[in-house]
């Protein structure tokens, strides 16, 4: 029996696929410039890893001396911090309380006039020549074509670009990917009793636990945030060998990830009883897997690790990046991107991310944003963080709306006009 798509196509000016930081920024920027904009999200809330993925912190918005992320990124985070009553920590990282951020993102997107479609997944793309004719959305209504003038890929994995035939790279030369993590939350803890930090890393209690055969699933990766009333959100643990574009691999990771979270609690009770007493509980594991690496989609320019080392600037840059080369590796495998001391970033150092990294070479009505923009693997380990996703998402949304207004493709746009709409 041949599968038929029976639902009538639905039309918008701009369709943003993915509702994480990149997708939210793209939808808001597009809608504010007057485009009839839809954001399609597979989960039940906006925010991606910042909410559904329960990541404990958003990395710093500064270069150690000054704020380098502006416009929508700072607008959204300032509004969130006011709503949640939180402030950046001593390193400038912002603790993420998921329910407060969900509400803020709902408000910002709907106030801009964008439409939201939850629990919906783009499962295919229909092409006409080098352009996307429609994306096929699967949800409770069945299969429905959605048609737009411009599409923004904010899926993280580059799903739309992949379905449209855009070439890509993934992983290292051996196909190995950075490990994933399934974040979780503890309650009934007493962090006020802990002397010093609970963070993982070398020469910490977690590095000791990681060598204890009683807790084989525990690694020295533990990034906690204390959100009050004895509740801790933790970005912790590593899931080696997970390919987020393989549904079977992801399904196995969720099962193992929940076991890892429980192992962390058992280990914490044994090694840090003053904080994790007998009443400490594992109260939640994230509904969304924390994916650090998947497809990097080919575009007009590939940002390189050498660009990072050179602190390179670009005429068409949409933001600056200060984050370190944070390449997580499978157990026993060394980090291939260690820099010499003079290459490491100091306060005030940063590099640009050019608009050309977001423009696929052939598809003229598609914009890349967030984690899937065109980087080499080394610099990708730095640019994959949420502030850059907000920034590239905003640029994508601006470009999409301008293409609608001018009735043109993405390649006809002047990068200077896109950048002029990004507030400094």
Same-domain pairing of 215 and 304: no
CA-closest candidate to residue 339, choices 305, 312, 371, 313: 305
Instruction: State the chain's mean pLDDT as an integer.
Output: 96
Say yes or no: 167 and 311 in one domain. Answer: yes
Element (H, E) at 396: helix 386-406
**227 backbone dihedrals φ, ψ, rounded to 5°:** -105, 10
How long, in residues, is the chain? 424
Verify that 111 and 220 share a domain, yes or no. no
Count of structural domains within the chain: 2
Regarding whether 201 and 122 lie in a shared domain, the answer is no
d(CA 35, CA 13): 6
416: enclosing H helix or E strand: helix 415-420
Residue 191 banded pLDDT, cuts 50, 70, 90: confident
Alpha helix (H) residue ranges in 173-331: 205-209, 247-271, 305-309
Strand 14-17 to 150-153 pairing = parallel
Q: Grade residue 298 by pLDDT with cuts at 50, 70 and 90.
A: very high
Q: How far apart are CA 421 and CA 424, in angstroms?
A: 9
Cα gap 155→42, rounded to integer Å: 10
- Quote the pLDDT of residue 332: 80
DSSP state string for 152-188 = EE-SSS-HHHHHTT--EEESSTT---PPBB--EEEES
Q: What is the mean pLDDT of residues 397-406?
A: 98
Q: Select the more confidently predicted residue: 338 or 313.
A: 313
* Encoded tokens for 304: 């390189």
Q: Which of 263, 285, 307 is the last residue of a domain?
A: 285
Question: Does 297 share its domain with 361?
Answer: yes
- Token pair 């977001």 is found at 358
* 367 and 398 inside one domain: yes
CB 184 within 8 A of CB 286: yes
Residues 143 and 98 in one domain: yes
Q: Is the pLDDT of residue 195 over 90?
A: no
Edge-first strand order for the sheet with 142-147 is 10-11, 142-147, 131-139, 121-128
Instruction: Indicate the helix (H) or strand (E) that contains 131.
Output: strand 131-139
pLDDT at 174 over 90: no
With 80 as the cut, is the pLDDT of residue 333 above it?
yes
Stretch 163-181: mean pLDDT: 95
Q: Are 48 and 151 in the same domain?
A: yes
CA distance 45 to 115: 13
105 falls within a domain = yes
Quick check: 89 pLDDT over 90? no
Q: Are 181 and 290 in contact (CB under 8 A)?
A: yes
Domain assignment present for residue 177? The answer is no
* Distance, CA of 212 to CA of 170 (rounded, Å): 33
Residue 1 lies in a domain: no
Cα separations (Å) of 415 from 69, 178, 271, 312? 18, 32, 54, 18
Mean of the pLDDT values across residues 330-357?
A: 93
* Residue 395: predicted pLDDT: 98
Q: With cut-offs at 50, 70 and 90, classify the pLDDT of residue 423.
A: confident
Average pLDDT over residues 388-411: 98
pLDDT, position 1: 58
The arithmetic mean of pLDDT across residues 346-359, rounded, is 98
Which two three-digit tokens encode residue 207? 């590095």
β-bridge mates for residue 147, sequence order: 11
The reported pTM is: 0.96
Q: Does position 229 have pLDDT exceeding 80, yes or no? A: yes
Provide the CATH number for the domain around residue 372: 3.50.50.60
23 with 141, same domain? yes
**For the stretch 318-340, what's the b/e string if a residue is b when 16 or more beta carbons lie within 10 angstroms of its beta carbon?**
bbbbbbebebbbeeeeeeebeee
- The answer to whether residue 2 is domain-embedded is no
Flag whether 152 is in a domain: yes
Task: Taking residues 351-376, report their average pLDDT.
Answer: 97
For Cα atoms 107, 62, 23, give the angle at the middle one, nearest 5 degrees.
35
Residue 242 has pLDDT above 90, yes or no: yes
Q: Is residue 178 part of a domain?
A: no
Q: Are residues 22 and 123 in the same domain?
A: yes
User: Within 13 Å, how many C-alpha atoms sit on residue 134's CB side?
Assistant: 14
Task: Give domain status of residue 261, yes or no.
Answer: yes
Range of the domain at 261: 184-285
- Domain boundary, last residue among 266, 285, 304: 285
Q: What is the distance between the alpha carbons of residues 114 and 233, in angstroms, rounded to a whole number?
A: 31
* Share of residues in the chain with pLDDT > 90 (%): 91
- Percent composition of the chain: helix, strand, coil (DSSP 3-state, to 5): 30, 20, 45
Q: Left if phi > 0, otherwise alpha if psi is -120 to 50, otherwise beta: which for 201?
A: left
Cβ(237)–Cβ(148) below 8 Å = no
Asked whether residue 384 is assigned to any structural domain, the reply reads yes
Look at residue 85 and tell me whether its pLDDT is greater than 80.
yes
Convert the pLDDT of each residue in 110-157 to its tens digit.
Answer: 999 999 999 999 999 999 999 999 999 999 999 999 999 999 999 999
Task: Give yes or no for residue 2 having a pLDDT over 80.
Answer: no
Per-residue pLDDT, 189: 96
Please report where in the chains the tokens 């090694």 appear, as a residue: 271
Question: Which one of 285, 309, 325 terminates a domain?
Answer: 285
* Average pLDDT score over residue span 166-178: 94
What mean pLDDT comes out for the span 357-385? 97
Beta bridge partners of 186: 232, 282
The verdict on 48 and 101 lying in the same domain is yes
**Co-location of 102 and 68 in the same domain:** yes
| Strand ranges of the sheet holding 150-153, from the earlier edge strand across to the other edge | 115-117, 37-40, 14-17, 150-153, 366-368
Compute the distance between CA of residue 403 and CA of residue 412 in angstroms, rounded to an integer. 8
């Amino acid at each position: 029996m041949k599968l038929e798509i029976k639902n009538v196509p639905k039309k918008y000016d701009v369709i943003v696929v993915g509702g994480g930081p990149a997708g939210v920024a793209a939808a808001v920027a597009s809608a504010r410039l007057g485009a009839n904009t839809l954001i399609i999200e597979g989960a039940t809330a906006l925010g991606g890893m910042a909410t559904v993925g329960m990541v404990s912190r958003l990395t710093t918005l500064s270069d150690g001396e000054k704020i380098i992320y502006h416009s929508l990124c700072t607008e959204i985070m300032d509004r969130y911090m006011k709503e949640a009553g939180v402030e950046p920590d001593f390193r400038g990282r912002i603790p993420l309380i998921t329910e407060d951020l969900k509400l803020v993102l709902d408000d910002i997107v709907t106030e801009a006039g964008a439409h939201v479609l939850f629990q919906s997944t783009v499962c295919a793309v229909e092409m006409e020549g080098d352009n996307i004719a429609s994306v096929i959305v699967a949800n409770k209504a069945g299969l429905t074509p959605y048609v737009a003038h411009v599409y923004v890929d904010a899926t993280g994995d580059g799903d739309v670009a992949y379905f449209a035939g855009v070439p890509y790279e993934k992983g290292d030369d051996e196909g190995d990917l950075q490990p994933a993590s399934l974040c979780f939350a503890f309650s009934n803890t007493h962090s006020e009793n802990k002397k010093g930090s609970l963070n993982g890393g070398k020469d910490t209690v977690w590095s000791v636990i990681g060598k204890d055969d009683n807790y084989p699933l525990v690694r020295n990766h533990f990034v906690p945030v204390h959100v009050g009333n004895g509740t801790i959100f933790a970005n912790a643990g590593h899931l080696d060998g997970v390919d987020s574009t393989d549904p079977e691999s992801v399904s196995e990771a969720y099962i193992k990830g929940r076991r890892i979270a429980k192992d962390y609690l058992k280990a914490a009770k044994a090694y840090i009883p003053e904080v994790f007493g007998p009443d400490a509980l594992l109260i939640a594991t994230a509904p969304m897997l924390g994916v650090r690496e998947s497809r990097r989609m080919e575009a007009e320019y590939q940002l390189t690790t050498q660009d990072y080392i050179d602190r390179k600037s670009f005429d068409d840059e949409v933001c600056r990046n200060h984050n370190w080369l944070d390449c997580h590796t499978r157990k026993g495998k060394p980090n291939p991107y260690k820099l010499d001391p003079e290459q490491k970033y100091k306060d005030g150092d940063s590099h640009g991310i050019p608009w050309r990294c977001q423009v696929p070479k052939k598809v003229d009505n598609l914009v890349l944003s967030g984690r899937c923009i065109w980087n080499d693997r080394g610099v990708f380990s730095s640019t994959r963080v949420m502030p850059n996703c907000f920034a590239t998402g905003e640029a994508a949304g601006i470009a999409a709306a301008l293409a609608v207004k001018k009735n043109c493709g993405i390649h006809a746009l002047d990068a200077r006009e896109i950048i002029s709409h990004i507030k400094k």
